[in-house]
Amino acid sequence: MTLETTTARPAPTADWVTLADLHTDPFPIYRRMRDEAPVHWVPDVGRYMVTSYESCHLIENDQETFSANETGSLMKRAMGHSMLRKDDPEHDVDRKSYGSVLRPKAIKETWNAIFERNSEAFLARLQAAGPGADLISEYAAPYAAENLRLIMGFHNASQEDMQRWSQTMINGTGNYADDPDVWAASKKSYDEVDDAIDEVLPYLLRNPDGSLLSGLASMPIPLEAIRANMKMTIGGGLNEPRDVIGVAVWALLGNPAQLEQVKADQARFAVAFEEAVRWVAPIGMYPRETTRDTVLEGIRLPQGARLGVVIGAANRDPKVFADPDRFDINREKKPHLAFGGGNHFCAGTWVARASVAGVALPRLFNTLPNLRLDPSRQAVDAGWVFRGMTALPVTWDQ
């Protein structure tokens, strides 16, 4: 043991934290935890939860001590062994296989036009559903799913398939209760995605189209890696854009003065996007595992400790963000952790920014006059590992 590990204190236990409370509203819990210590052992979660900005930031930049390759990972069971659960150099091989498909040049040349088309199509669907419709199910979710379907190259699937695959495999990833029905639905999607990949790869070899699968079709990457990375990207590339659309709209409609600012200067949709993902990080927590005894901000952690890196809490750390619980597009610009950091920094950041801040939000507010929350029905936000709006009824002038 080093001097540091002998002088450090053990993590306090937060036996007052429950999964049910985290699901409903994690933010008061995070505040109390952060005030007490940067790291807690949380029995109900079965992990050490890391809630300070400084510790989360340290972890994501030190894969030697904090490995993404977690023992007994449910994600590996639900989706296969993707890049998200590998460390470098293995991770780097998979990550490089994505080439420049998700990067700004491809977005400008190919994907932006598709985002515009999809936004128009699903706005028409929302309008057809009429005032009082749910913004998430009629607009945000199908829009995010259809964008991802085309970026990935699933020409033999529908946006509904993408939504079902994503949700069932995410449920498998979070199936700590080991519910056999959840595993069955997750496995069904696992097999359907494999079949869809097997079917579409030869087609894309003959008809290349700039999609992820099209690029991978001609690469010497093992099929198992392609399959796992595609499943992880279906799970990781759909809910988050959907959820940031929902949270940004909810926050702007609840803060009319800020909405007016954004409408008057539409470049500020980009600021509203960054503030929305800081305020409610769509991925609130991701796992890591210690490879050796270590110390985090004075707290001792044993080798093999399972950690929850709670970026949803780090993003509201008052040491970094003043008045952190407030949604405020005028706050001082500081780097948030919503897209992670280090070698696993989100590969889809530019897609998310372009599709949401560049297209989905401005088109929505510019198309529906006097868009507002439906006063007759409740908007609902929920979740902590993934958090977003589960219902967002809206109305507008016709």
Q: Is 389 in the site for ligand HEM (CB under 6 A)?
A: no
Token pair in block for residue 173:
């990833």
Cα 362 to Cα 78: distance, rounded to the nearest angstrom: 36
Per CB under 6 A, 235 contacts ligand HEM: no
Q: Whole-number minimum distance, CB 346 to ligand HEM, in Å?
A: 3
Q: Does 351 bind ligand HEM (CB under 6 A)?
A: yes
* Part in contact with ligand HEM (CB under 6 A); list of ranges 131-139, 216-224, 234-242, 377-385: 234-242
List, in sequence order, every residue forming a beta bridge with 9; answer none if it has no partner: 299
**Among residues 172, 236, 284, 383, which is the contact residue for ligand HEM, using CB under 6 A?**
236
Near ligand HEM by CB under 6 A: residue from 47, 95, 149, 231: 95
Span between the terminal Cα atoms of the chain, in Å? 69
**With CB under 6 A, what is the number of residues at the site for ligand HEM?**
25
**Is 17 a residue that touches ligand HEM (CB under 6 A)?**
no
Which position's Cβ is nearest ligand HEM? Answer: 348
Q: 353 burial class (0-12, 13-18, 19+ CB within 10 angstroms)?
A: buried
Q: Is residue 84 at the binding interface for ligand HEM, with CB under 6 A as the rule?
A: yes
- Which CB, 18 or 110, lies closer to ligand HEM? 110
For ligand HEM, the closer CB: 26 or 282: 282
Least distance between ligand HEM and beta carbon 68 (Å): 6
Residue 393 pairs in a beta bridge with 134
Closest by Cα among 155, 150, 181, 153 to 168: 181
Beta bridge partners of 288: 307
Closest separation in Å from C-beta 315 to ligand HEM: 10
Beta strands in the chain (DSSP E): 9-10, 39-42, 47-50, 66-67, 286-290, 294-296, 299-301, 306-309, 372-373, 380-382, 388-391, 394-395
Give the x/- contact pattern for ligand HEM in 281-300, rule: CB under 6 A. Answer: -xx--x--------------
Smallest CA-to-CA distance from 56 within 323, 348, 338 is with 338
Q: Is 245 in the site for ligand HEM (CB under 6 A)?
A: no
